[in-house]
């Protein structure tokens, strides 16, 4: 028989370990790093029944329940840990149970305050690729009526880039086709420098086939750039740099990111909307002229959007002065606003709700989930549609992010990327 005292001891031990593990997982759920803007505070909610200590403070001043505490090692009072960012830099916090057992380490990065003008303008996007992109394979019907596959037999695949033809750099699909004809008529043959998706280069010998019309072909579909409509996210007045879209631009057929050679953003007009429905993404219908109303030059195309230098300063009428860029830790669940164009070139303000904020220790594309709550926008577009990517999200008069993707089966909802990650792609990195 187990004695009552032993039963009581076992019961208390179980309760102790259950509590220990439950609070251990609360701490584990905290991000391993997060950011604060200089001069701001962040509340870290920690509920724990045991002695918990924190150590390793470098550049931030920590207050707990209103009391400033600094130094190498101190005991936390149960409740909320309030971190105040005093100077730009980073601080390492290590949480220890009873001051002995390390449980969690957090790096707090203190960022300088950056103020930008939110965008919302409809933009035409023109990208020209480095090299000519292979987006499809085909056959060539020869003069004898048979089907030939010269490019495939030479090992050229969808997603490859053709960089040179017979040692001549090529970035234009028309130039590529012209050079094929020219070299074959001179019996020079075709040597292509090809780069695959992993950046590996190789020289490929291709034997073009003359079709029934007398044209030499190699059996490829190629493009040398893309064009589309999106939304400007921000302009930094300190360095005249911009960010837009919130996601990278890819070539649709090959699902390959456009390796940017040059690009421009251009003022666009929205002429109509195809409303989104469950299972069918909607889209904005935009028009723009390639040689007119150029806003800026694109320097970067990456997972967080397109970025570059402004040539023509355009303003969002809702913001007379620039507003702060929020650190990820400042964003909360709740109401926010987005700015976008649904007709012509007029920017409008619409209500949304931030339903979830993800803890991201390092830059990532999907930082939050937003829900369109504005009845008028839902009526006009059905929710989030293509062309709305890059629409700035503002909460508490701070730029917190940009719309990026729609939930196909729930078009009123979608993902947003943090403004912190977008702005960090610029910060004076581009030359005029």
Q: Give me the active site residues, please.
A: 247, 374, 389
| Cβ atoms < 10 Å from Cβ of 200 | 9
From the list 360, 361, 352, 329, the residue with the least C-alpha distance to 402 is 352
Q: What b-and-e string marks burial along 92-115, b requiring 16 or more CB atoms within 10 Å of the CB? A: ebebbbeeeeebbebbbbbbeebe
From the list 413, 210, 234, 214, the residue with the least C-alpha distance to 323 is 234
> Under a CB-based contact definition with an 8 Å cutoff, are residues 63 and 85 in contact?
no
SS3 of residue 289 by DSSP: coil
Tokens 């993707």, residue located:
405
Alpha-carbon distance of 233 to 34, in angstroms, equals 23
> Under a CB-based contact definition with an 8 Å cutoff, are residues 103 and 95 in contact?
yes
Tokens 């490859």, residue located:
160
SS3 of residue 14 by DSSP: helix
**Greatest extent of the chain over all pairs of C-alpha atoms, in Å:** 102
């Amino acid at each position: 028989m187990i004695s009552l005292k032993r039963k009581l001891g076992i019961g208390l031990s179980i309760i102790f370990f259950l509590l220990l593990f439950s609070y251990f997982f609360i701490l584990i759920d905290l991000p391993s790093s997060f950011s604060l803007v200089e001069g701001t505070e962040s509340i870290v909610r920690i509920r724990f029944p045991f002695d918990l200590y924190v150590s390793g403070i470098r550049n931030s001043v920590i207050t707990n329940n209103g009391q400033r505490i600094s130094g190498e090692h101190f005991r936390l009072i149960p409740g909320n840990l309030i971190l105040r960012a005093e100077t730009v830099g980073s601080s390492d916090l290590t949480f220890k149970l009873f001051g002995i057992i390390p449980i969690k380490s957090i790096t707090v990065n203190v960022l300088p305050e950056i103020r930008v003008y939110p965008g919302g303008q409809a933009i035409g996007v023109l990208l020209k690729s480095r090299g000519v992109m292979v987006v499809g394979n085909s056959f060539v019907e020869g003069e004898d009526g048979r089907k030939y596959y010269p490019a495939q037999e030479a090992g050229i695949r969808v997603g490859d880039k053709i960089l040179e033809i017979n040692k001549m750099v090529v970035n234009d699909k028309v130039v590529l086709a012209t050079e094929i004809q020219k070299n074959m008529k001179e019996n020079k043959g075709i040597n292509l420098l090809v780069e695959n998706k992993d950046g590996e280069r190789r020289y490929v010998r291709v034997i073009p086939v003359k079709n029934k019309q007398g044209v030499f072909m190699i059996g490829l579909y190629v493009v040398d750039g893309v064009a589309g409509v999106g939304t400007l996210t921000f302009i930094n007045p300190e360095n005249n740099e911009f960010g837009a879209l919130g996601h990278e631009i890819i070539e649709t057929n090959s699902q390959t990111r456009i390796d940017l050679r040059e690009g421009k953003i251009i003022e666009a007009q929205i002429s109509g909307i195809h409303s989104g429905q469950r299972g069918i993404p909607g889209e904005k219908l935009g028009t723009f002229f390639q040689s007119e109303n150029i806003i800026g030059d694109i320097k970067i195309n990456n997972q967080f959007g397109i970025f570059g230098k402004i040539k023509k300063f355009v303003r969002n009428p809702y913001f007379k002065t620039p507003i702060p860029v929020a650190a990820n830790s400042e964003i909360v669940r709740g109401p926010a606003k987005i700015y976008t164009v649904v007709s012509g070139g007029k920017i409008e303000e619409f209500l949304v709700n931030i339903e979830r904020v993800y803890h991201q220790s390092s830059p990532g594309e999907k930082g939050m989930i937003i829900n369109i709550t504005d009845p008028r926008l839902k009526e006009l577009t059905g929710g989030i549609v293509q062309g709305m990517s890059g629409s700035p999200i503002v909460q508490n008069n701070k730029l917190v992010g940009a719309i990026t993707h729609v939930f196909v089966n729930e078009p009123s909802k979608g993902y947003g990327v943090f403004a912190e990650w977008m702005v960090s792609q610029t910060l004076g990195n581009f030359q005029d």
